[in-house]
Chains A and B, each alone.
Chain A
Amino acid sequence: MASFGFQLLKRTLGNRSAAARFFSSAPYTPIRATLFPGDGIGPEIAESVKQIFKAAEVPIEWEEHYVGTEIDPRTQSFLTWESLESVRKNRVGLKGPMATPIGKGHRSLNLTLRKELNLYANVRPCYSLPGYKTRYDNVNLITIRENTEGEYSGLEHQVVRGVVESLKVITRQASLRVAEYAFHYAKAHGRERVSAIHKANIMQKTDGLFLKCCREVAEKYPEIKYEEVVIDNCCMMLVKNPGLFDVLVMPNLYGDIISDLCAGLVGGLGLTPSCNIGEGGIALAEAVHGSAPDIAGKNLANPTALLLSGVSMLRHLDLHDKADKIQNAILNTIAEGKYRTADLGGKAKTTEFTNAIIDHL
């Protein structure tokens, strides 16, 4: 009962701050955002994010939620109903790494978030970090992956013993939705080209439908160049010359593989930001690396992925000047090379790295 009252109060206050933001003339009324620090190294890197955002005077008020220790029957998972409602209400969130507990009878945490918040597009900006040398230094692309259907629809069945079928489902609605977001993103961020990745020469109906939807949306954005690339050709071009690509939009399976491939091009999952877009403009930025339980609590973790995801979140909120400021500070700190965490080949602790970034702001 008391919790219900508290819910109502939180909801009213939340609405009021949203209304204040809408009608206020001051551009910097605090925006509420949900924060899931996650497990393992999550809380430490979340702390880094909070410190840096505060030092940069970002107008964000964090609402922290933790993964529970018991299954919430309303969501069938360890994430509580309140956590999900918080994201739905605030419309933006930042998520650290979450380790799904082993066991049955509950949905995986990522699947819960995706289904409940209807997160249909996974956006990963991949750009070479100056100062962190990999084999490729001209990477500057965004992968946008359809996240709800395709080969991962989960529709498998056994026909007879030894024969299994898996259904790939592509719908016009989902394809249009992700194509719209891709072009909208390209326009909002000044990108020149959108490439649709497919295998429609073989899967003529499924990938063919995906392409048709992309073409329809492309016609509405004549200033943005649109091209179609077959997936195998795309893989080859990516490893030979990743500078050829700008924005990539793809169905689920190709997106999974290509986005991880691109993460590998710039240095791995520890440096890659990611943002999930849901219906109604919800954005949940997340760090896609694991929770690294072996280094948890030792002040050794690299907060770059979560920080850059936070920057993606700021861009989604149109706080571009703050986003640029923080991003430049991060890139300069890494480029300078004096303070680098262990995974980048340095010896700095998480707190030292964080302070170095704050100094660069």
Chain B
Amino acid sequence: MTKFCSERIAKYAFEYAYLNNRKTVTAVHKANIMKLADGLFLESCRQVATKYPSIKYNEIIVDNCCMQLVSKPEQFNVMVTPNLYGNLVANTAAGIAGGTGVMPGGNVGADHAVFEQGASAGNVGNEKLLEQKKANPVALLLSSAMMLRHLQFPSFADRLETAVKRVISDGKYMTKDLGGASTTQEVVDAVIATLH
């Protein structure tokens, strides 16, 4: 655990919250046990928090965090975590939100950014999904909207996101993991139809 990386991710989290009108950033840690490692992470987060006085900052221990996520997930807004906890928290949150099929994600670096499904647990290499054409394109579509935003095309991003959300809320074209029976192509066609 290094100060450099912890600061970097904390800065990104607060900047993201600021640019996207998010009110709270929560740091997830286990510093009561891993005093030096997670302690360093928390220190970096606290330092960055002082530079964003308009954003509320709080800290939560990772086991309590998971418990709260399954009972009251609405209390969380932006969460910043170290590597391992982030994996667990992202997958738990994805499960609560509807599964790997709907959660978008992105990997951001200093020079490049790669956008992909937010949580890929269990879906990678699932041949049956491919054969039956039941893969859910929503996650990747929303991830590409994130990419458009990153490229500073907010209007395109908004149009795509609204179209996808309308298709899901209409409920007519949904893949199996969301409880429907459509194929991937049918969902995509519905999104294109909504875009026009």
Contact = CB atoms under 8 A, between A and B. Distances in A.
A258 B35 CA distance: 21
Contacts of B2: 162-164
Interface string B78-110: 000000110110111011100110000000000
Nearest to B70: A264
B37 A164 contact: yes
B99 A268 contact: no
A157 B37 CA distance: 8
A260 B67 contact: yes
A231 B85 CA distance: 11
Contacts of B23: none
Interface in A219-239: 230-233, 235-239
Contacts of B90: 232
Q: Most chain-A Cβ atoms within 10 A of its Cβ — which of B67, B70, B91, B122?
A: B70
Contacts of B132: none
Interface in B49-71: 62-64, 66-71
A25 interface: no
Interface string B15-39: 0000000000000001001111101
A166 B67 contact: no
A231 B2 CA distance: 25
B63 A232 contact: no
Interface residues of A, number: 39
A232 B67 contact: no
Contact of A232 (B37, B70, B91, B96): B91
A240 B34 contact: no
Contacts of A232: 87-88, 90-91, 119, 121
Interface in A149-189: 151-152, 154, 156-158, 161-166
A135 B70 contact: yes
A164 B34 CA distance: 10
Contact of A163 (B3, B33, B66, B68): B3
B70 A156 contact: no
B1 interface: yes
A257 interface: yes
A137 interface: no
B37 A236 contact: no
A238 B62 contact: no
A261 B92 CA distance: 9
A71 interface: no
A237 B92 CA distance: 8
Contact of A260 (B64, B85, B99): B64
Interface string B151-192: 000000000000000000000000000000000000000000
B95 A239 contact: yes
Interface in A232-278: 232-233, 235-240, 253-254, 256-261, 263-265, 268-269
Contacts of A134: 71
A262 to B, nearest CB: 9
Interface of B: 1-4, 30, 33-37, 39-40, 62-64, 66-71, 84-85, 87-88, 90-92, 94-96, 99-100, 119, 121-122
5 contacts: A136-B70, A236-B121, A257-B63, A261-B69, A264-B70
Given A162-B4, A165-B1, A231-B87, 9 more contacts: A163-B1, A164-B1, A164-B39, A199-B84, A233-B91, A235-B66, A236-B122, A237-B122, A257-B85
